[in-house]
Structure 1
Amino acid sequence: MKSYNLGLLPRLIIAIILGILIGQFTPAPVVRILATFNSIFGNFLGFVIPLIIVGFVAPGIAELGTGAGKLLGITTAIAYLSTLISGFFAFGVSTTLLPRIIQVNSQFAATNPEEALLKPFFTVDMPPLFGVMSALVIAFILGIGMAALKEKTMYNFMSEFQKIVQMIITKVIIPLLPVHIAGIFANMTHAGEVARILSVFGKVFVIVIASHITIILLQFLVASLYSGKNMIMALKNQIPGYLTAIGTQSSAATIPVNLECARNNGVSEGIREFVIPLCATIHLSGSTITLTTCAIAVMMLNGMPVTLAKLAGFIMMLGVTMVAAPGVPGGAVMAALGILQSMLGFTEAQLALMIALYLTQDSFGTACNVSGDNAIAIIVDKIAQRMKLNAA
């Protein structure tokens, strides 16, 4: 007997369809059962979010502090700059195109959409141990401290804690996400809001993919101009890495193929073996594009004000928080839930909608991430060559 294991994306699509059918054709008590599950799961997610941040950001920062000195700093700075450019590019594209796609219902925007949703039968309160911003501060203090002291006791403890948190994500949160999203869509269908939301899904998806491709072309253009390499050949050499990332949905799983792409691009062995694994952790330009675009779409759907002042801080913090993204499908959106909640004021239903929007294109975001990693590798390789010449 063959066992078939559906991937996360098919399960998510099935969950959305089932949620719509349940909300459309079943009585209110059935929807309230799902709403009760959503309430419990949402509270659990809120409890785990600060732990995800501490568990992944602190060891990530500690690892960044024990690398290759000056080149480590240069690579990290380039990766963060690339992430920022991607985020602000997504802001510009989204604020230009999305208002033409999303027609905000003034009556809906003037009221609280949560009031139209059915309430759970009961709730289980799970207050987090500390807030999201406190979690980030704790993670920075621990990460910088571990990097400075170079002691192994705390680092080993945090590494094991990271494994526990990742196990919670892979064994509990990811498997239950389709049920959570089915419940959200059932409730939104019952409240009569799902048709307007679904009409936006496909158009947002097209904008996100087009933005990914544009950023990849820009990254390789800059890399080619700086290094003197042929841009068309570099892009052609990246195709295997791009396609592998689409299939695996994991930057980490794509590292072996991406190293081969870097070798074909003429990146020296020492640089490619340093930059590619590092950037697989700290450089997530595609994920930042998706999260920024989807966040703006959700805000517009709910009549929330979208301003550069509000989104700038979110994008800059997103670039840091992406270090916390675990190497599992949907890891980036999991790491971003905290700042979506604290900086943009997203509700539980809006967070669930963000998860659904993000996961529908997760593989393409990962493909954009790993492609940008190789563009950075080309740039860092050229910088290293110039540093050697100057030293000589």
Structure 2
Amino acid sequence: MSALKKYGILPWIIVAIILGLVCGQFFPTGLSRVFYTYNDIFSQFLNFAVPLIIVGLVIPAIGDLGRGAGKWLGLTAAIAYASTIFSGVLTYIVCAWLFPSLLNPGTFSDVKASEESLAAASGYFTIEIAAPFEVMTALVLSFVIGIGLSIMPRGVLRRGFLEFREIITALISRVVIPLLPLHIFGIFLNLTQSGEAAQVISTLLTVVVVLLILEVVILGTQFGVAGAVAKVNPVKALWNMKDAYLTALGTSSSAATIPVTLRQTLKNGVRHPIANFVIPLCATIHLAGSTSKITAFAMAIAFTQNIGLTTGQWIGFIFMLGVVMVAAPGVPGGGIMAAVGILQSMLGFSEQQVALMIATYIALDSFGTATNVTGDGAIALVVDRILGKKLDERDSRKAPSEDYVPFDPDAYIEKIKEG
């Protein structure tokens, strides 16, 4: 656990994939079945945990969104959700256009068969762990209770769900995430022994290239719109956010990048009360880069495994994904863990397909996070343009203090770091 905290989940996922590719060349069937047993039990446990994850994360997220700073909160949340949906829809359009020429239908056709053979060859035993309720039931229940909590006075029920969220976050960060590398090892061990590993890796690398270009386009569009609304140079504003982007690449955490994102947003001329409100909030609710990643890889898996999904199904998935991303916990892999439920319920993904999604998501986690936090700066520019004048009018009615000191962004950031 200490090594996981020190180095993060990504190195362990990479090691698991490499070891799976290597060990699949020579592991005997008897030894492989040990890992197939583990995979089967882990999948059963994950199916059990997914509805609880949805309830534990979505209810407090919706409950908190419905309260707070009134117009500021509503405007910021609406812009963040629109940005997230835009990135998902843009990704769908581009991937639907490019994938038929870049990917071969049926490339992963044997992956599902491999999963069936894994179940048949499987382990030495299995444990049936029934989910407490269906994923869609969990989503509807979360919406009903979450909306109810948002309009009710704060009380015992809300505190109970906040504590339940802490339990679920601990479950993800201390149980599911640490056990994932071994699960990924078993998946790639099976893919190697079934002869599918090379095709899977080459296909996913193609998707990575498309995705990285897409995220440049998403950021360009976000700052193009922000520049037009706020009447600033979008190129300069985007360039000012480069420190936040690079910091997020290194930390893979929106929360850890907040001080740098805030400083660079202030340098773009956003008023500090607005920046101080928008940036921490968007670090939680604005996940345009993560939505693009999940959509692109989900489409690649669906296309290469001949999973027939209509445009309406994809659009519905993207809109629901935008809601689920709001509830993503701030732990490595939290976004994809929050999305597992709708990948299974709305797209019909199997455990092995979900495992591929998890592996690829975590491998590119830092790029998605960097896109998320950089886009937060664009949202702050828009909110500042819309609400800034009213804020100035409010402040102008206040009597100036004799010991007034001009605001210093760097000193403000240092104060945040010191707590």
TM over 0.5: yes
Q: What is the letter of the counterpart of residue 22 of structure 1? A: C
1:362 paired to 2:365: yes
Q: What is the letter of the counterpart of residue 330 of structure 2? A: G
CA distance in 2, matches of 1:45, 1:360: 20
Q: Which residue is equivalent to 2:19?
A: 18
Q: Which residue is equivalent to 1:350?
A: 353
CA distance in 2, matches of 1:180, 1:108: 21
1:48-197 → structure 2 map (5 Å cutoff): 48-105=49-106, 108=109, 112-117=113-118, 118-197=121-200
1:288-299 → structure 2 map (5 Å cutoff): 288-299=291-302
Name the stretch that deviates more: 15-24 or 290-299. Answer: 15-24
CA distance in 2, matches of 1:194, 1:303: 18
| Shift in alpha-carbon separation, 1:44–1:237, aligned structure 2, 3 A | same
Instruction: Give the drift of 1:107.
Output: 9.8
What value does the CA root-mean-square deviation take over the aligned residues? 2.1
> Could you list the per-position Cα deviations for residues 54-84 of structure 1 after superposition, in whole angstroms to 9, with x for gaps in the alignment?
1111111121122211221111111111111
The answer for unaligned runs of 5 or more in structure 2 is 398-419
CA distance in 2, matches of 1:153, 1:335: 25
CA contact (8 A) 1:248 1:254 kept: yes
CA distance in 1, matches of 2:271, 2:259: 15
| Shift in alpha-carbon separation, 1:125–1:243, aligned structure 2, 3 A | same
Instruction: Give the drift of 1:106.
Output: 7.7
1:372 paired to 2:394: no
TM-score, normalised relative to structure 1: 0.95
CA distance in 1, matches of 2:177, 2:359: 12
Q: What is the letter of the counterpart of residue 28 of structure 1? A: T
Q: Which residue is equivalent to 1:47?
A: 48
The answer for unaligned runs of 5 or more in structure 1 is none
Name the SS of the counterpart of 2:349 in structure 1: coil
Name the SS of the counterpart of 2:7 in structure 1: coil
Q: What is the letter of the counterpart of residue 58 of structure 1? A: I
Q: Which residue is equivalent to 1:385?
A: 388
| Shift in alpha-carbon separation, 1:168–1:76, aligned structure 2, 3 A | same
Instruction: Give the drift of 1:114.
Output: 2.8
Q: What is the letter of the counterpart of residue 7 of structure 2? A: L
Percent identity over the alignment is: 48
1:256 paired to 2:259: yes
Name the SS of the counterpart of 1:252 in structure 2: helix
> Could you list the per-position Cα deviations for residues 250-303 of structure 1 after superposition, in whole angstroms to 9, with x for gaps in the alignment?
111111111111111111111111111111111100000000000011112212
Q: What is the letter of the counterpart of residue 42 of structure 1? A: S
Q: Which residue is equivalent to 2:211?
A: 208
Q: Which residue of the other structure, out of 243, 247, 256, is the alignment partner of 2:246?
A: 243
CA contact (8 A) 1:22 1:31 kept: no
1:311-326 → structure 2 map (5 Å cutoff): 311-326=314-329
CA contact (8 A) 1:296 1:306 kept: no
CA distance in 2, matches of 1:363, 1:110: 27
> Could you list the per-position Cα deviations for residues 83-118 of structure 1 after superposition, in whole angstroms to 9, with x for gaps in the alignment?
111001111111122222221248937984533434
Task: Report the structure number with the largest CA radius of gyration.
Answer: 2
Instruction: Give the drift of 1:385.
Output: 2.8
CA distance in 1, matches of 2:108, 2:158: 52
Instruction: Give the drift of 1:19.
Output: 0.9
CA distance in 1, matches of 2:224, 2:165: 37
CA distance in 1, matches of 2:282, 2:325: 11
Q: What is the letter of the counterpart of residue 381 of structure 1? A: D
Name the stretch that deviates more: 192-201 or 338-347. Answer: 192-201
TM-score, normalised relative to structure 2: 0.89
Name the SS of the counterpart of 2:22 in structure 1: helix
1:263-302 → structure 2 map (5 Å cutoff): 263-302=266-305
Q: What is the letter of the counterpart of residue 135 of structure 2? A: V
| Shift in alpha-carbon separation, 1:108–1:133, aligned structure 2, 3 A | closer
Instruction: Give the drift of 1:177.
Output: 0.5
| Shift in alpha-carbon separation, 1:363–1:3, aligned structure 2, 3 A | closer
Name the stretch that deviates more: 190-199 or 114-123. Answer: 114-123
CA distance in 2, matches of 1:201, 1:155: 42
